Amino acid sequence: MPSLLNKILCAFALLTFFFVPQMSFAATTPTTCTCFCGNTTDGAKESGSNVTDGTACAAICKSKGTVTAPLSYVGCYRTEDLFPKNNDKCWTQDECYAELTAEGFTPTSSSFGGQSPYCSKLISATTGYCYGKSKPTKLNVPVLGRIEVSSLPEYIDLMYRFLIPAMSLVAVTMLMIGGLQYATARGNSKAVSEAKTRITNALTGLVLLFAAFAIANFIDPKLTSLAGLRVPLIKQNVLLESDTTCESLRDQYGFVIEPSSGACGKTGRIKNIDNVKPEAANSNFHVGSSCDFSTCANGTTCFSDGESNSCLSCTGVPSPSVGGCSAFAERANSVDGDDNHQYYCTYYNATTALETCREAVTTGKRYLDCKAVLAAATDRVTAGTDPCGVYNDVNLGTTSGSIYLAQSEDTDARKVCTDDPCHVAELKLGKCTLTVPGEDTVSSCGLVK
């Protein structure tokens, strides 16, 4: 009887698995992508949205290119953080030279690769890959007396110079064996044939060995210059991870840190783990593990460049990107904790050589004072006007000055309107959106229901 019951339960489980729709909690992934094509003149440019896949994007790049100005396929990206403007390997020449100088290297003409088709070109500056001096790598087996090399191209060149005489010796040895085999064949047709084949193969290998450089250079000069094997530098500035800072380990998970507090960049160590919360009990942190404090004044956030930490404001975010600017705003709001203070930091492709993050400010404060914004929006509703219009008077600050939202033509910055961080559209049960009354007028923030 138990056996029969088990069979019935197994059959029911199989039917449930195959015929009952399965629930899924996976995040929604865009089904289309934004296509980017590029060349060394104009850099990477958006060439189409809602493209089906990379194959379709490559076809678009081929069709838009010309004989004199061909376009390379850069990529088809489903999320904005992957766009070329957020490529952490793209530098301006000034940024590249400044980074190399700071690392103690003297920049040369080959340090900056010029405009890359995989980087977005700025209005007044090219962006491309930056190449620094590689650190020497010790070889386990010395080659031609060398015990270390500074780059992969140097190692390949060293191995080529080693293999030429080594393989030549092998080929000459095979020639001698083939000649000896031929001389001792004594009319044996099979032995003579084998000897001729061995001699032919040895001579062919010898010719190919000495002609390898010329053949590779004829196919593509880059195969002999090895320039494409250089590894570009990556921008190292990152926002400290909020869940691994000393403050987070102490306040959220119950670790005892020594010292108990510290400013941005100060190192602490875990002293006790007896009272940590269950979700952190199996973490990689243990007594003696180190952490970094990230305490900064409101409106600034702790950043690390890999060697030191510092408190920076929105407009001081290093290596600005869409993700970096928004991450700053998220952390600043978390640290402040006041719902009426909404830090809004947005990426801005400036008209200068450097990109930056812009902050939305009201009444001289480094955040949107939502209490004041809502009060102004309420007054507008009472007067019979649009509450979303308050965002047209929001000041957008930059490192080089400030403008009002209504004067801005930058779509990333003007998302302040559509994001509606102070929820003014709820006063009229609608949502804020950018409207364009006419071709010759500036877009404004308005309400739609």
Task: Give the model confidence (pLDDT) of 375-398 as tens digits.
Answer: 989 999 999 888 888 887 777 765
The ranges assigned to domains in the chain are 33-86, 91-128, 137-229, 236-312, 317-449
For residue 310, what are the β-bridge partners? 303
- pLDDT for 223 equals 66
- pLDDT for 74 equals 93
Structure tokens at 360: 């939305």
- Report the Cα–Cα distance between both ends of the chain, in Å, rounded: 65
Distance CA 89, CA 409 (A): 27
* Strand residue runs (E) in 201-336: 238-239, 256-258, 267-272, 290-292, 301-304, 309-312
**Pairing between β-strand 345-348 and β-strand 33-39 as defined by DSSP bridges:** unpaired
Distance CA 44, CA 157 (A): 33
- pLDDT for 79 equals 84
Mapped to the 3 state alphabet, what secondary structure does 58-115 carry?
HHHHHHHCCCCCCCEEEEEECCHHHCHHHCCCCEEHHHHHHHHHHCCCCCCCCCECCC
Distance CA 247, CA 116 (A): 41
Structure tokens at 138: 């010790």
- pLDDT for 400 equals 44
Distance CA 154, CA 141 (A): 15
- pLDDT for 22 equals 39
- pLDDT for 5 equals 46
- Burial group, residue 40, by CB count within 10 angstroms (0-12, 13-18, 19+): middle
Amino acid at residue number 125: A
- pLDDT for 432 equals 86
Under-70 pLDDT residues of the chain: 1-29, 123-124, 134-135, 220-229, 236-243, 281-283, 305-307, 321-323, 348-355, 362-364, 397-414, 436-443
| CA-wise closest residue to 280 among 309, 319, 254, 258 | 254
Distance CA 73, CA 62 (A): 8
